[in-house]
């Protein structure tokens, strides 16, 4: 079964597509059969990151049921072992997916025969983005060492946390819980979602325990991108500490990716960065991220794709 | 995770109960880096009020645990409330004593000051009294006594300055690595003194067992 890694991060421009594309290329070159899915449905551009390339089929063919099998929208890429499900010619309304469609897509993805599946998600905290995290139970968050990016990262993670509790509790009891929690702490549904679990523990300890176990089984990773020389290289570790301490989520720091002016140059030339600048620091950093994804396998097999749990 | 107000200082700083001042200071610095007003890592995660509360508690934890007297009193409080297990009492006393005067390491019996309490405990403890009623003592017996007292081998090593390897050898009856008989006797005496037992009795009974069983070494 494939290892599925949704890749997201609250803010736009943090390098989600860049990281997905280039890490995907590295995994493919190491001999792993790798599939990249451009799940940034509103603004897809993963095909551009991995090279000049005109995708003829896209995800919306699957959603509109033009094709029944997700495998039919998989495209070959100029790189061997690397495959792509593009979003380039998506219909314009595909950015708003129903929950059932996402479930259908994830079920179809879990049946695909690849070693690694990396999903490039859109910025923001729309349900399109957070549902891929909640449903797959894993994910890589990409963040820049800047207040704006970190603020949105926390927002995304808190949204994933609340959304998962919502899924597991079903609407009426979730509404009841939020009302009770908000009467205790007005920030319960904004900054302090852990209050929800504290309150639920008092109302229904068994259910709270079950939800807590599901949340703890999440396999989240963090990558700090565009780290400049003057930045604190430990920032990723500190962020993970906060997430683990206050939300009890399993958040591991995967590494820093250095800032490099040439990333812009590579994109303008529509050439994959890791191919064009093979011996740069960024390529070295991305290699260690790819290694982290390969080493993360073991843990994911036990917790992967919790679609059946929801 | 426990709420901030429910955490004791050791939990807050994420250090062991017997952490050294250096470890506490390091933990404080790390936590302060995480929660300080202009920390990038926790930016937007806490409200202003929460951050102030955390920083105040951190400061409180640091000033308490870095002061020997305050820390001793705080440990006693935690033990009384049942937050820390009873056997930590002796560790707390050992630590307080060691900290109170660094030169205690060189005093022949550094535990003389607290032996009254320790001896009262020993004489009232049935397990220890039973072991002490045997004619001979094995390493396993000594280990059981030590465990009853809640004293770690590291503490004994630190006070007696005997290498941990030999202390382990004494408790495991591992005579292939035990020192020569003369050293063994003095080590046994130091060990016994350190945990409040009669040095000569312990050494004699331990060596008697070796002689009786004709264990080749030492």
Rounded CA-CA distance B178/B170 in Å is: 7
Q: Does the CB of B120 have a partner CB in chain A at under 8 Å?
A: no
Per-residue pLDDT tens over the stretch A202-215: 888 898 999 999 99
Other beta carbons within 10 Å of B108: 7
Tokens of A297: 């396998």
Write down the pLDDT at residue A52: 65
Residues composing chain A: 310
Per-residue pLDDT tens over the stretch B132-154: 888 889 999 999 988 888 788 88
Q: Which residues of A touch B43 (CB under 8 A)?
A: 147, 150-151
Would you give the DSSP letter of residue A243? I
Write down the pLDDT at residue A239: 95
- Which residue in chain B has the smallest CA separation from A242? B42
Structure-model confidence comparison of residues A74 and B215, the more confident one: A74
Q: Which residues of A touch B1 (CB under 8 A)?
A: 194, 245-246, 248
Rounded CA-CA distance B206/B184 in Å is: 10
Residues 37-96 of B with CB under 8 A from A: 39-47
Per-residue pLDDT tens over the stretch A246-295: 888 999 999 999 999 999 988 888 889 999 999 999 999 999 999 999 98
Closest Cα in chain B, distance from residue A152 (Å) = 9
Give me the sign of the Cα torsion angle A42, A45, A46, A47: positive
Write down the pLDDT at residue B96: 66
Mean per-residue pLDDT for B61-70? 90
From the list B1, B39, B47, which residue is nearest A248 (CB)? Answer: B1
Q: Does the CB of B107 have a partner CB in chain A at under 8 Å?
A: no
The phi and psi torsions of A146 (rounded to 5 degrees) equal -135, 145
Put simply, the answer to whether A239 touches B44 (Cβ < 8 Å) is: no
Structure-model confidence comparison of residues A302 and A163, the more confident one: A163
Q: Which residues contact B52 (CB under 8 A, 6 or more apart)?
A: none
Angle between helices A147-169 and A127-136 (to 10 degrees): 60
Report whether the peptide linkage leading into residue A152 is cis, meaning its omega lies within 30 degrees of zero: no
Q: What is the DSSP string of A97-166?
A: --HHHHHHHHHHHHHS--SEEEEEPPSS--HHHHHHHHHHSEEEEEE-SSHHHHHHHHHHHHHHHHHHHH
Is the CB of residue B201 less than 8 Å from the CB of residue B137? no
Q: Which of A139-153, B6-20, B166-180 has the highest mean pLDDT?
A: A139-153
Closest CA to A212 of A227, A199, A228, A224: A199
Write down the pLDDT at residue B109: 40
Write down the pLDDT at residue A302: 42
Closest CA to B17 of B116, B97, B70, B84: B84
Write down the pLDDT at residue B1: 60
Closest CA to A123 of A152, A163, A160: A152
Q: Which residues contact A290 (CB under 8 A, 6 or more apart)?
A: A23, A26, A27, A30
From the list A194, A232, A242, which residue is nearest B42 (CB)? Answer: A242
Other beta carbons within 10 Å of B18: 16
From the list A198, A235, A246, which residue is nearest B41 (CB)? Answer: A235
Put simply, the answer to whether B45 touches A235 (Cβ < 8 Å) is: no
Closest Cα in chain B, distance from residue A127 (Å) = 21
Closest CA to B172 of B198, B139, B148, B144: B139
The 3-state DSSP class for residue A34 equals strand
The 3-state DSSP class for residue B154 equals helix
Q: Which residues of B touch A241 (CB under 8 A)?
A: 34, 41
CA B145 to mean position of chain CA atoms: 14
Rounded CA-CA distance B188/B209 in Å is: 13
Per-residue pLDDT tens over the stretch B77-123: 888 888 877 767 767 776 666 655 443 333 334 444 556 677 778 88
Q: Which residues of A touch B33 (CB under 8 A)?
A: 238
How would residue A309 be classed by pLDDT, with cut points 50, 70 and 90? very low
SS (H, E, C) B167-190: HHHHHHCCCCCCCCHHHHHHHHHH
Structure-model confidence comparison of residues A70 and B4, the more confident one: A70
Put simply, the answer to whether A235 touches B44 (Cβ < 8 Å) is: no
Write down the pLDDT at residue B100: 52
- Which residue in chain A has the smallest CA separation from B30? A238
Per-residue pLDDT tens over the stretch A110-169: 889 999 999 999 898 888 888 889 888 889 999 999 999 999 999 999 999 999 999 888
Residue percentage of chain A with pLDDT more than 70: 93
Tokens of A303: 């917790």
Tokens of A246: 């206050």
Q: Which residues of A touch B3 (CB under 8 A)?
A: 198
Chain A with chain B: Cβ pairs closer than 8 A: 38
β-pair partners for A227: A258
Is the CB of residue A230 less than 8 Å from the CB of residue A258? no
Query: Would you say the ipTM is above 0.85?
Result: no
Q: Output the pTM of the full model.
A: 0.72
Q: What strand order describes the sheet that includes A82-85?
A: A75-76, A82-85, A34-38, A116-120, A3-8, A138-143, A219-227, A251-258
Rounded CA-CA distance A46/A93 in Å is: 19
Which domains, and CATH codes, for chain A? 3-305 (3.40.50.300)
Q: Which residues contact A267 (CB under 8 A, 6 or more apart)?
A: A18, A48, A49, A273
- B interface test, pick of A158, A241, A250 with most B CB neighbours within 10 Å: A241
Put simply, the answer to whether A238 touches B39 (Cβ < 8 Å) is: yes
Mean per-residue pLDDT for A28-35? 95
Put simply, the answer to whether A241 touches B34 (Cβ < 8 Å) is: yes
Average pLDDT of chain A, as a whole number? 87
How would residue B67 be classed by pLDDT, with cut points 50, 70 and 90? confident
Put simply, the answer to whether B45 touches A154 (Cβ < 8 Å) is: yes
From the DSSP assignment, how many helices (H) and strands (E) are in chain A?
14, 8
Mean per-residue pLDDT for A159-185? 87
Residues composing chain B: 218
Q: Is B2 exposed, middle or buried (0-12, 13-18, 19+ CB in 10 A)?
A: exposed
Q: Which residues of B touch A191 (CB under 8 A)?
A: 45-47
């Amino acid at each position: 079964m494939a290892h599925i890694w949704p890749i997201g991060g609250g803010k736009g421009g943090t390098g989600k597509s860049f990281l997905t594309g280039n890490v995907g290329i590295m995994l493919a070159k190491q001999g792993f059969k790798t599939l990249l899915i451009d799940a940034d449905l509103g603004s897809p551009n993963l095909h551009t990151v991995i090279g000049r390339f005109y995708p003829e089929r896209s995800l919306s063919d699957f959603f509109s049921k033009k094709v029944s099998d997700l495998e039919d929208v998989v495209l070959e890429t100029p790189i061997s072992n690397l495959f792509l499900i593009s979003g380039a010619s998506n219909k314009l309304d595909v950015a708003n997916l129903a929950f059932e469609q996402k479930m259908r897509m994830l079920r179809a993805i879990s049946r695909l025969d690849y070693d690694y599946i990396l999903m490039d998600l859109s910025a923001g905290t729309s349900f399109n983005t957070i549902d891929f995290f909640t449903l797959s139970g894993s994910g890589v968050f990409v963040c820049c060492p800047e207040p704006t990016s970190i603020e949105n990262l926390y927002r995304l993670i808190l949204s994933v946390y609340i959304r998962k509790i919502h899924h597991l509790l079903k609407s009426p009891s979730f509404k009841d819980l939020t009302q009770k929690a908000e009467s205790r702490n007005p920030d319960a549904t904004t900054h302090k979602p852990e209050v929800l679990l504290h309150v639920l523990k008092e109302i229904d300890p068994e259910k709270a325990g079950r939800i807590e176990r599901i949340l703890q089984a999440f396999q989240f990773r963090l990558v700090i991108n565009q780290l400049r020389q003057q930045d604190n290289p430990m920032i990723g570790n500190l962020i993970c500490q906060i997430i683990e301490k206050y939300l009890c989520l399993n958040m591991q720091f995967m590494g820093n990716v250095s800032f490099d002016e040439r990333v812009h140059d590579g994109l303008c030339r529509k050439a994959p960065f890791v191919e064009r600048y093979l011996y740069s620091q960024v390529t070295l950093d991305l290699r260690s991220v790819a290694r982290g994804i390969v080493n993360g396998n073991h843990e994911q097999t036990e917790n992967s794709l919790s679609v059946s749990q929801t | 995770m426990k709420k901030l107000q429910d955490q004791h200082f050791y939990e807050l700083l994420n250090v062991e109960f017997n952490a050294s001042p250096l470890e506490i200071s390091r933990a404080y610095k790390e936590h302060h880096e995480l929660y300080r007003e202009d920390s990038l890592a926790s930016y937007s995660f806490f409200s202003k009020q929460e951050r102030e509360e955390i920083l105040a508690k951190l400061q409180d934890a640091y000033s308490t645990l870095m002061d020997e007297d305050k820390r001793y009193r705080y440990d006693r409080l935690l033990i009384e409330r049942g937050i820390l297990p009873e056997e930590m009492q002796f560790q707390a006393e050992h630590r307080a004593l060691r900290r109170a005067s660094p030169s205690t390491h060189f005093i022949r019996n550094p535990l003389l000051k607290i032996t009254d309490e320790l001896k009262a405990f020993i004489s009232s403890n049935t397990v220890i009294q039973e072991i002490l009623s045997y004619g001979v003592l094995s390493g396993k017996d000594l280990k059981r006594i030590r465990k009853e007292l809640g004293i770690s081998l590291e503490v004994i090593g630190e006070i007696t300055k005997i290498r941990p390897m030999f202390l382990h050898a004494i408790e495991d009856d591992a005579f292939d690595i035990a020192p020569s008989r003369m050293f063994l006797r003095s080590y046994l005496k130091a060990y016994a003194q350190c945990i409040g037992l009669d040095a000569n009795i312990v050494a004699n009974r331990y060596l008697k067992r070796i002689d009786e069983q004709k264990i080749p070494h030492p």
